[in-house]
Structures are given as C-alpha cells and as structure tokens.
C-alpha cells in the first residue's frame, strides 16, 4: 500500500514538474531551456531517486514485494543508497548554483542508471513473467521521461 502511494507520488510529482517546467521554458518571447532544466532536473531526480532511495531503505520489504523482487538483499540497500546519492548531488548542484553543465552531468548520470533499470525491469517481466505494476511500468516511464527531456536538452546544447 505505502509502496503504491510512493509510486503514484513519484509519477504525479514528475508530471507536475514537466507541466511547470515547460511553462517556465516557454514563458516570454524566447524559449529558455536553461531555466526550464534548472527547475526540472532537481525535482525529477528528487521525486524518482530520492523517494525510491528512501522507500528502499525504510520500507525495503514492501518495496521489493511491490516490484516482485526478493526481500532483504544487501543489493537493495546498496541500490537505495546510490539512488539517494543522485538526489543529494542534484540538490547540491541546484543550491550551490554550479550551472547547467553540472546539472546536465547529474541528469545524465541519473538517466544512465534509470535507463538500464528500466531495461532490467523489462527483461524481468519477460524472463520471470513478473507483471507487477511497479515492475512493468518502469520501461515505459523511462521512455516517456527521456522523451520529455530531449527537446530542452538539445536546445541547451545549441546554446552552449
């Protein structure tokens, strides 16, 4: 139950972040991809990595069961710590105002992990017939997340 609530929270926060992020980017006469990404990157990473890391550390058993994975694994703890590290670094980069290149660095690091996590969840669904919602949604969510970030990222690179 709690794991489902956190999963829904992640999705709602990311959707709201995209909505307001695109409003920020397209506010005014000139598209502002840096302002858009400056808003979106920390919130997306906090919503996904931060909540997932906390969920894995504090509610690991229910989180693993919701995804159809084994419980009590040291790997789960390690993955949760890695997820939290992305969130902490994203917040540091934001509040220390290290700039768009640092923001893109943590975004790409996070997306690298998230892409292969989605691939892993998809393969698990195929190999083990693990059709639990939190397992099968990952590949689709990854594709949508990356698709929504492609345009502002390309536009930022055009400015650099």
pLDDT of residue 64: 58
Strands (E), the chain: none
DSSP 42-87: HHHHIIIIIHHHHHHHHSHHHHHHHHT--SS-HHHHHHHHHHHHHH
Give the per-residue pLDDT at 7.
Answer: 85
Q: Domain of residue 128: give its range.
A: 2-159
Q: Given CA atoms 9, 92, 36, 138 in this order, what sign does their dihedral have?
A: negative
Q: What is the pLDDT of residue 39?
A: 98
Q: What is the pLDDT of residue 68?
A: 60
Both structure tokens of 155: 């536009």
Q: How many domains does the chain have?
A: 1
> What does the pLDDT read at residue 12?
96
The whole-number pLDDT of residue 137 equals: 83
Low-confidence stretches of the chain (pLDDT < 70) are 60, 62-69, 72
pLDDT at residue number 65: 63
**Confidence (pLDDT) at 69:** 64
- Residues whose CB falls within 8 Å of the CB of residue 67, separated by 6 or more in sequence, listed in order: 121, 130, 132, 134, 135
pLDDT for res 138: 86
Q: What is the structure's pLDDT at 160?
A: 87
């Amino acid at each position: 139950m709690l794991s489902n609530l956190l999963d829904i929270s992640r999705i709602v926060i990311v959707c709201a972040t995209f909505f307001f992020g695109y409003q920020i980017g397209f506010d005014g006469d000139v598209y502002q991809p840096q302002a858009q990404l400056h808003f979106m990157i920390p919130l997306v990473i906090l919503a996904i990595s931060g909540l997932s890391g906390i969920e894995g550390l504090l509610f690991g058993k229910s989180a693993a069961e919701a995804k159809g994975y084994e419980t009590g694994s040291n790997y789960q703890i390690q993955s949760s710590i890695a997820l939290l590290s992305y969130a902490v670094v994203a917040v540091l980069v934001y509040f220390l105002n290290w700039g768009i290149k640092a923001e893109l660095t943590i975004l790409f690091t996070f997306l690298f992990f998230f892409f292969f996590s989605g691939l892993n969840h998809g393969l698990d669904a195929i190999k083990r017939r693990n059709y639990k919602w939190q397992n099968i949604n990952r590949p689709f969510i990854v594709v949508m997340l990356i698709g929504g970030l492609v345009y502002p990222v390309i536009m930022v690179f055009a400015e650099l």
